[in-house]
Amino acid sequence: MSPRKFFVGGNWKMNGDKKSLGELINTLNTATLNPDTEVVCGAPSIYLDFARSKLDSKIGVAAQNCYKVAKGAFTGEISPAMIKDCGVEWVILGHSERRHVFGESDELIGQKVAHALESSLGVIACIGEKLDEREAGITEKVVFAQTKVIADNVKDWSKVVIAYEPVWAIGTGKTASPQQAQEVHEKLRQWMATNISEAVANSVRIIYGGSVTGGTCKELASQKDVDGFLVGGASLKAEFVDIINAHA
C-alpha cells in the first residue's frame, strides 16, 4: 500500500460564475467523498474568497497562479500573502497554459515556487512535454529539466505535489495511456531518488493531468506511481466526484 495520500485537484481555469460555481460547491459538499483522498479546488483568483467560504473545510482551495514577491507595484498580480489571507492553502504553479500562453519561463516559475513555499503555501507544480517534444523522443529530457528548476527551489517537499501534464493531452480529449503516464511517473520518481533523495522520491505525490474523465480515471488511478490527478474540464461537472473516488 502506497504511503502517499491520493491527491485530486480540480483546476477550474477561467470558468464559472457565482451561480454555477455555487451549484458545483453544493454538489461537492453533499457528495460522499473518499476520506482517504485529499481534494483541492483551483478557483479563479476573484472567486478564491467565495470558494473558501462556501466549500466544506475538508476540501482544500488553490489559487491558479501567484507572483514571486509579497507585495508591490505589480498591477494585476496576486501574492501568496493575499492567498493565505483568504484562508487558501495551495497554489498551482507552472501550468502549461502559464508557460505556453503567457510565456512564463522556468526561471520565473522556480522563483514563484520558492516564494510560495517560504510563505507556507502548498504548491502544485506542473511539468510536461509538448507533442513535438514527445515525437522527438525528448520527453524525459524536458520533464527532468522542468523538475530540476522546481527542485532547486524546494526546501520542504512535504508541501509540494508534482503534476505531470503532457501538454498534448490537455483539453484535447487525448489522454496519455495509463502505461504512458506510469512510465513517465516512474522515471520522475527515479530522477528524484537520484537527484534529491530516496525519501523524497518515495513520499512526494506525482499526479497526472490531461483530459482525465470519469471514464479514464480508474485505470490511471491503479498505476503504481500515479498518486492522483489534476483535472481540468471534468472538475466543473458532477463526474468530478467519480474522479475523486477513483482510488478504491
Q: Which residues are bridge partners to 41 per DSSP?
A: 10, 61
Choose, from 38, 95, 129, 185, the residue flagged as catalytic: 95
CATH assignment at residue 214: 3.20.20.70
* C-alpha count within 13 angstroms, C-beta hemisphere, residue 77: 14
Indicate the SS3 state at residue 163.
Answer: strand
Q: Specify whether 95 is catalytic.
A: yes
What's the rounded Cα separation, in Å, for the pair 12 and 233?
Answer: 7
158, part of any domain: yes
Q: Report whether pLDDT(170) > 90.
A: no
Q: Decide if 177 is inside a domain.
A: yes
Q: Is residue 184 part of a domain?
A: yes
Residue 138 lies in a domain: yes
Domains identified in the chain, total number: 1
pLDDT at 143 over 60: yes
Residue of 97, 104, 133, 165 with catalytic role = 165
Distance CA 79, CA 240 (A): 28
**pLDDT band at residue 2 under the 50/70/90 scheme:** low
Residue-range definition of the domain harbouring residue 62: 6-245
State the cell numbers at 168: 498534448
Whole-Å CA distances, 132 to 80, 98, 137:
34, 19, 9
Work out the pLDDT band at 108, boundaries 50, 70, 90.
very high
pLDDT digit string, tens, across residues 46-76: 999 999 999 999 999 999 999 999 999 999 9
Residue 1's pLDDT is: 45
pTM here is: 0.97
Domain membership flag for residue 127: yes
1, part of any domain: no
Ranges 130-134, 173-177, 180-184: which has the least confidence: 173-177
- Which cell is 155 given? 526546501
Selection from 238, 233, 226 nearest residue 37 by Cα: 226
Distance of CA 124 to the CA centre of its chain: 4
Residue 185 bears catalytic tag: no
In a domain, 17, yes or no: yes
pLDDT, the chain, mean: 96
3 confidence band (pLDDT: 50, 70, 90): confident
